[in-house]
Structure 1
Amino acid sequence: MAAVTTDLPLEGRFEGTDHRFPVRVYFEDTDLSGVVYHANYLRYMERARSAMLRAAGIDQRAAHEAGEGAYAVRDLHIHYTAPARLDDTLTVVTRMEQIRSPSVHIHQRVMRGDVMLAEARVEAVFVSQGGRARRQPADWLARFESIMNGDLVVNPVDRGND
């Protein structure tokens, strides 16, 4: 039996300004024809965005529990170009395109090797518990700038029992 190796941690990894997050297509992800159901690409992208933040040292859970706020998707545009199928190994490539005080604009691609299967542009807004847009924490904005510049120094968050 061949040795199994993985080169991506649970949170994925940064390569320059891109965050790369691995995904395996399971039976539950597919429709009757064995093709990934369209809504599951959104799930893959959501997981990748959360993993990117975690890998960058941003603790969304602590911010939410402290009453500081949470992200909500304000706008999303997705384009499908090719299907993923059962057992495919995919990579979600995430890149931050623009940072504003209350929001981030993100470009994501779901890739199978060099083939792009879907791409999306997402605007996520940091909102208060009451649902109103508010300024993101200053240290988060600084980390986002570092990500966009490709010079993020990763100091993982202590995730406890995750």
Structure 2
Amino acid sequence: MSLTTTLEIRVYYEDTDFSGLVYHANYLKYFERGRTEGLRQCGFTNSDLMAREEPLVFAVRKMDLDYHLAARMDDLLTITTIVTEVKGARMIFDQKAERDGVLIASAQVIVACLTPEGRPRRIPQDVISVFND
């Protein structure tokens, strides 16, 4: 399984620290947007998933994040999101942020599928089938 989506994100002043470099925690936001937009490109929005007869949400269970280079104000980053596994109640994503093809940051993210009350639940078959095509 390997589904790849991309998203371009401009680095704004508000994303940087006093040195003009992207503040490290903002990569979490960039990768979250990449996963959210990746799901949207596959036909699922978080609000639609919440509105189902059996609502579901995703929560990050684990993230391994590596910083390779610094991004700066006004950079245009490409966030690439690859779904590498969808199984049971979890999804695994490999993500990277690049500037002009140069790796800035990378992450492996494991998300859990949950009920709105926070209980684990299996990922519905219609969601799984999108990633198995």
TM-score by length of 1: 0.77
SS at match of 2:74: coil
C-alpha distance after superposition, 1:90-123 (max 9, x if no partner): 1001101111121100000000012101000000
Q: Distance in 2 between matches of 1:140 and 1:17?
A: 13
Superposition deviation, residue 65 in structure 1: 2.9
Q: Return the match for 2:12 from 23, 26, 33.
A: 26
1:89 maps to: 76
Could you tell me which amino acid in structure 1 is paired with residue 35 of structure 2?
R
Whichever residue aligns with residue 43 of structure 1, its letter is K
Q: How many residues align?
A: 131
Higher gyration radius (CA): 1
**Counterparts of 1:54 and 1:105, CA distance in 2:** 17
- 3-state SS, counterpart of residue 29 of structure 2: helix
2:55 partner SS:
coil
Find runs of 4+ consecutive structure 1 residues off by over 3 angstroms.
none
Separation in 2, partners of 1:133, 1:60: 17
State how 1:62-73 maps to structure 2 within 5 Å.
62-66=48-52, 67-73=54-60
AA in 2 matched with 1:79: D
RMSD: 1.3
Residue number in structure 1 paired with 2:96: 109
* Unmatched runs of 5 consecutive residues or more in structure 2: none
Bigger fraction of residues in strand: 2
- What's the counterpart of residue 42 of structure 1? 28
Work out the CA distance in 1 between the residues paired with 2:30 and 2:10: 10
Contiguous gaps of at least 5 residues in structure 1? 1-15, 147-162
Per mean C-alpha deviation after superposition, the further-off stretch among 131-140 and 70-79 is: 131-140
Structure with the greater relative contact order (CA < 8 A, sep ≥ 6): 1 or 2?
A: 2
Letter in 1 for 2:102: V
Does 2:61 align with 1:77?
no
Q: Distance in 2 between matches of 1:65 and 1:19?
A: 24
Change (3 A) 1:62 1:18: closer
Match of 1:124 among 103, 111, 124: 111
**Quick one: which amino acid aligns to residue 130 of structure 2?**
R
TM superposition shift of 1:17: 3.5
